[in-house]
Structure 1
């Protein structure tokens, strides 16, 4: 498949209330996380940044190509140890491909395409996206799928130059777009967002959005505004959403969240006040839960799935024990 021509879609300008967290799809698999880093932050390959400028970014190596359909789903097969991405083996870099990097002297690329029943003669067991299988993949496949999802989203949402409105030309193996009238380069965009666990020592503050299934709660989140530090965004978002003042804002870790193009910056924060004043334009409900309620299952009907940094932060807080 060739690189698509210029032109935008309705998703080029997302609605202002589009959140950097999953508000629609919650996988049924919601067991606790066990990794030292958030699931989608795992990387098992070299992204090959310098190779992107070459005529052949694969440097003559065979290329494993991941086909991604219009729903951002990819072919998956059931391996001996769990789900695995199903790669199409190519002798060279494909036209219209997006270079993802290399591992073990093999190059990897993403290519937008249509669903098929098999890939390279191997039957496809399922077509699935990052939300559904991300937490069950190995480090290499998880990192490659997160990368592929993010860069394909960028291409789909950004086809016109922000300088002149001209249809852009894709260059550098899919990692830049160029304005043909001015020569200006346009690079992939990432929107920083904060996601924070607010606690008062032995209780955690969780909220829910109206579009979520009943009983599902998560920690709070929001976008960082221009000219604002991440720590300031934590304090502002908590105050706006639930009317709680916080202190002791501490960074936990980060995770790419390419739905469509966010980088989630995880924090914990201690509540100074605990009385809630919920902004129902932001969230439907907010409640305090004790560690024991979350551990025993007496709290929310469901917590975020392990593919999310939200679950990683909650599980880390639960493991710490009471705080003075």
Structure 2
């Protein structure tokens, strides 16, 4: 795919698209660090960092952190306004492969606020202006063109929320166009039932609050009010989902395989044990923003590489924990720390 009036293409290599990631709601990410935050007062930050935000964009950052290059992952995104221009420059700097549908509306911003005195973190997420019907069609057409090429992608990843103006029907149209051998990975709960109803989701990666909310919407009252594991099996059966990977922040994660109907509980190590081995411990801030995207990027790419889904999920969780040590950009991590954490992961 080449540049046109409405499409901008940045590829760091010449290989075909291996994983197509729908990063349909990007953000320009600000991280503001305060020595002490006084609510209700004028606060001046000690440091400001401007980086990339958005789940699909974090997915790509994590992939590059793991492999050292884009691994032929391509992010498809709507981009516009001053924030969009900055995002494009930052993506080039990070050498992320992106296809950008240029829109007239301004892309949103997101702000992470870090209080150094308490180590507390707050995330403020803005809203992008709606994209037009014509721009939405450009997005869909670009996705279908990539999915239907002779060397079709090995996986399609749906990440995060959808920009206003990009309907769920548009996402369904994209998913319907994929090759049967293209693995479908869903890391989104934004009006996602219509996609799941197609019955071809290979992996649903979701957090515990999201799956409970989804269960309340789509399962009968008895099942949705029951245990988390019953909700997982209910949703897996309802939508014919092969694997469900459930995260719960620093608490235990769960992996479910519909083939074996087995649950595996994964114990996430306390990363404070890692902090104790680091230099300048007093300056370390644990920033969990973007951890889920880190997990998704590493998890899916390892599955595409041929690793067993459970093992890939565990490594994705280790990468997510390692990314907590990165102030910015979100989802970047030190692979050595990731490997150290991976050795501490336990299953039962």
Range of TM-score over shorter length: under 0.3
Identify which of structures 1 and 2 has the higher relative contact order when contacts are C-alpha pairs closer than 8 Å and 6+ apart.
Answer: 1
**1 or 2, which has the higher helix percentage?**
2
Q: What TM-score do you get using the length of structure 1 for normalisation?
A: 0.25
Asked which structure has the greater CA Rg, the reply is 1
**1 or 2, which has the higher strand percentage?**
1
